Amino acid sequence: MSKIFQSIRAYIIPVKLSEYEVGAYTHLIEKHGGKKCVKQGESTHIFTILKSSTRISRNVESHQVPVIDIQWIRDCDKKQQLLPIETYTIITDRKKLRSSSSDHDALVPSLSLLTTSTATTSISSGSNTDILNRRFKDSPPEDLPFSDESGSTRRGEGENVDLAPGFINTKYECLRPTPYEPKYNKKLVSLLLLLERKRQIDNELKRSLSYRHAISAIKAYPREIQSSKEAEKIIGVGSKIAEKIKVFLHTGTIEEADQLRYDEEFRTISLFNKVFGVGATTARIWWELGYKTLQEVLDNAKLSTTIKLGIELLPDFDQMMSQQDVKEIIDIVTKEVVSINSECFVVPVGGYRRGKTKNGDVDLIISSKNAENMRGFLNKLTQRLIEKDYLKHKLWHSTDIKNLAHAERPSSVGGRQQFDNFEKCFCAFLQPSTGIHRQVDLICVVNPDELATAILGWTGSRQFERAIRDYAKKEKNMSLNSQAIHFEQNGKKNRFVVHSEKDAFDIIGMPYLEPEFRNC
DNA sequence: TGGCTGTACTG
DNA sequence: CAGTAC
DNA sequence: GCCA
DNA sequence: CAGTG
DNA sequence: CACTG
């Protein structure tokens, strides 16, 4: 029995917590000399598992006391000491707000303050704030990603109607190697990518997906396509897309796609859509509200904190990383991980592992052969990275409730789930050499059994993951996610033991594909 | 004509 | 739930 | 939009 | 958030 | 208003 919580009178917001969980937290508080109170009015701190401040506000009577992430209790217990409460504070109390800013915080800020003081562009240092003011009216057309014209110089459809020998014609992209950059049909692929994106921002998800299938197939196709008949034999290319290919073979372009390269609406919505937290719907709403640049959105729209952050970070996040940049970050994180626990290790996944030369983010899996090492690890790690000034913002992080169930097992009922679900944290990481914020996704794999499937799942590509899960389900009656492979047999779920990535391919019964060829 | 990866957080 | 993220 |  | 009771 | 999907 310690005294670290001696001066704490805690109120726990019961929402989203089971009775058992409330009991477990109460136990922790009392174990360290704190008191739990039933009435908020008598408390010095309010604890909650909720993340949304609006949601929290509904459960808080008055903001006289700070609202703290309940995780703090667990972390203090683990470390047996009072941890700095600031990073866990979700809502600061009145007194603190008073001292730092204006009197009535909840009331509307005056007009003058709104436009001028919002220029707290403290984030951008070595970044091109240019992108925030980018607008597309009368601007030069968008570049095509794979625009090597050399293949499409000779116009017109050829005679050849047969598929290229050696091409694996399947609806499952995961069964054939797909390079990141196509060798052939580059311009066609670039144009189809525009159409895919158009369907996507129009929220035509199924159509978008269809283009994705066709694009993957064509990227993997081992020669220039010579006729639309040939194209239509490719599984994933149906009558509509074949028709577009036919036009492309005759004219060297696809009207609808080429137009998009100049289209102000399309390009503006596409840009908005790059912001973390902004999907097709929000992007279009902004467009319909008349915003033409992100700066206008920033100045005038009411934004959640995540999206505001997302916009402010875009000038940095939009700058692609070389493999050297990625290595630098991997080395830093690895060093910190190992110094916390030398048995832990880092596995780079994502596009970097697939050999992409330019990457928009860094995905890192952190694990250990010993599950015990991993309990609460991500919190330790992020805290260190914050202290060392690498980690600047958490864009998103998961809450691992099952970890608690495990930690408190002695008093818990036996049949509790294993502590599966990873802890994840997507953050803005300041790269020292360039001063640019990079999106780093940290994924903590607690259970060693889950490592292989986690690596498989986080290596991607997105399309590869869809295909392999679809294949496992439809063809093998197995279900795959980033934690396990299951096989159903007379209503019983059996979990396979997956020792390695190769093992996973064997279990599913498909040929192994090196990460470089999973760029579907 | 149904289904399109599977799962978790936020508002 | 709809929207978003991986 | 495409496949089964 | 929008919808429900 | 408190809660749910």
Q: Is A247 (CB) below 7 Å from strand D?
A: no
Give the CATH number of domain A149-260.
Answer: 1.10.150.110
CA dihedral A330, A334, A337, A340 (to 10 degrees): -140
Lowest mean pLDDT of A7-21, A197-211, A307-321, A475-489, name the range: A7-21
Please state, in angstroms and rounded to a whole number, the distance separating the CA atoms of residues A177 and A520: 8
Q: Which residue has the tokens 């174990």?
A: A31
What count of Cα atoms within 13 Å lies in the side-chain half-sphere of residue A62?
8
- Backbone dihedral angles phi then psi of residue A351, each to the nearest 5 degrees: -60, -35
Judge whether A244 counts as a catalytic residue.
Answer: yes
Using the C1' atom of nucleotide B5, identify the protein residue whose alpha carbon is closest.
A466
Please state, in angstroms and rounded to a whole number, the distance separating the CA atoms of residues A66 and A275: 31
CATH 3.40.50.10190 describes domain A9-127: yes
Footprint of strand C on the protein (CB under 7 A): A 275-283, 350, 361, 363, 396, 426, 439, 441, 458, 462
pLDDT digits (tens, 9 = 90+) for A200-244: 999 999 999 999 999 999 999 999 999 999 999 999 999 999 999
Runs of H (alpha helix) within A82-204: 94-100, 111-116, 186-201
What count of Cα atoms within 13 Å lies in the side-chain half-sphere of residue A355?
11
pLDDT digits (tens, 9 = 90+) for A122-167: 454 556 778 999 999 999 899 999 887 665 556 778 778 899 999 9
pLDDT above 90: residue A39 = no
Are the C-beta atoms of A458 and A350 separated by less than 8 Å?
Answer: yes
* For residues A375-403, average pLDDT: 83
Are the C-beta atoms of A365 and A321 separated by less than 8 Å?
Answer: no
Q: Is A510 (CB) below 7 Å from strand D?
A: no
Buried b (16+ CB within 10 A) or exposed e, A58-81: ebbeebebbbbbbbbbbbbbeeee
Q: What pLDDT does A123 receive?
A: 53
pLDDT digits (tens, 9 = 90+) for A302-327: 888 889 999 999 999 999 999 999 99
Burial class of A167 by CB neighbour count within 10 A (0 to 12, 13 to 18, 19+): middle
Strand E nucleotides with an atom less than 7 Å from a protein beta carbon: 1
* A195 CA, D3 C1': Å apart: 20
Q: Are strands A67-69 and A89-91 parallel, antiparallel or unpaired?
A: antiparallel
Are the C-beta atoms of A179 and A219 separated by less than 8 Å?
Answer: yes
pLDDT digits (tens, 9 = 90+) for A247-306: 999 999 999 999 999 999 999 999 999 999 999 999 999 999 999 999 999 988 888 888
pLDDT above 50: residue A112 = no
Q: What pLDDT does A9 receive?
A: 81
Please state, in angstroms and rounded to a whole number, the distance separating the CA atoms of residues A93 and A60: 11
pLDDT digits (tens, 9 = 90+) for A168-197: 999 999 999 999 999 999 999 999 999 999
For A339, other C-beta atoms within 10 Å of its C-beta total 10
Q: Is A326 (CB) below 7 Å from strand D?
A: no
Which stretches of A337-433 are assigned E, i.e. beta strand?
A: 344-349, 361-368, 391-397, 423-431
Q: Are strands A478-480 and A485-489 parallel, antiparallel or unpaired?
A: antiparallel
Q: Are strands A492-495 and A485-489 parallel, antiparallel or unpaired?
A: antiparallel
Q: Is A306 (CB) below 7 Å from strand F?
A: no
Nucleotide nearest to A55 (CA to C1'): B11
What topology is assigned to A264-317 in CATH? DNA polymerase; domain 1 (1.10.150)
pLDDT digits (tens, 9 = 90+) for A63-106: 556 777 777 787 777 778 887 676 666 665 543 322 222 222 22
CATH 1.10.150.110 domain locations along chain A: 149-260
> Of A198, A219, A244, A356, which is the active-site residue?
A244
Are the C-beta atoms of A475 and A447 separated by less than 8 Å?
Answer: no
CATH 3.40.50.10190 domain locations along chain A: 9-127
Q: Are strands A35-36 and A9-12 parallel, antiparallel or unpaired?
A: parallel
Are the C-beta atoms of A310 and A395 separated by less than 8 Å?
Answer: yes
CATH 3.30.210.10 domain locations along chain A: 455-517
Q: What pLDDT does A5 receive?
A: 83
* A27 CA, F3 C1': Å apart: 27
Strand B nucleotides with an atom less than 7 Å from a protein beta carbon: 3-11
* A297 CA, C1 C1': Å apart: 26
Q: Measuring CA to CA, which residue among A484, A175, A514 is closest to residue A353?
A: A514
pLDDT exceeding 70 applies to what percent of chain A?
A: 79
* A264 CA, B8 C1': Å apart: 34
Using the C1' atom of nucleotide B11, identify the protein residue whose alpha carbon is closest.
A52
Structure tokens at A277: 């937290």
CATH 1.10.150.20 domain locations along chain A: 264-317
Q: pLDDT category, A489, cuts 50, 70, 90?
A: confident
- Backbone dihedral angles phi then psi of residue A43, each to the nearest 5 degrees: -90, 160
DSSP-assigned beta bridge partners for residue A366: A346, A444
Q: Is A417 (CB) below 7 Å from strand B?
A: no
Nucleotide nearest to A238 (CA to C1'): D2
Runs of H (alpha helix) within A356-461: 377-387, 401-407, 451-459
* A206 CA, B1 C1': Å apart: 15
Q: What pLDDT does A59 receive?
A: 59
Q: Give the helix/strand (H/E) hosting A89.
A: strand A89-91
Please state, in angstroms and rounded to a whole number, the distance separating the CA atoms of residues A336 and A377: 11
Q: What pLDDT does A102 receive?
A: 29
Using the C1' atom of nucleotide B7, identify the protein residue whose alpha carbon is closest.
A481
Q: Is A7 (CB) below 7 Å from strand B?
A: no
Q: Measuring CA to CA, which residue among A251, A250, A247, A225 is closest to residue A236?
A: A225
* Domain A455-517 CATH class label: alpha beta
Nucleotide nearest to A480 (CA to C1'): B6
CATH 3.30.460.10 describes domain A321-446: yes
Using the C1' atom of nucleotide C5, identify the protein residue whose alpha carbon is closest.
A277
Chain A window 379-408: residues with CB closer than 7 Å to nucleic chain F are none
Question: Distances from the Cα of A499 to the Cαs of A48, A234, A346, A510, in angstroms?
Answer: 38, 35, 17, 16
Strand F nucleotides with an atom less than 7 Å from a protein beta carbon: 2-4
Task: Enter the pTM of the model.
Answer: 0.75
Q: Is A254 (CB) below 7 Å from strand D?
A: no
Using the C1' atom of nucleotide D3, identify the protein residue whose alpha carbon is closest.
A236
Q: Is A51 (CB) below 7 Å from strand F?
A: no
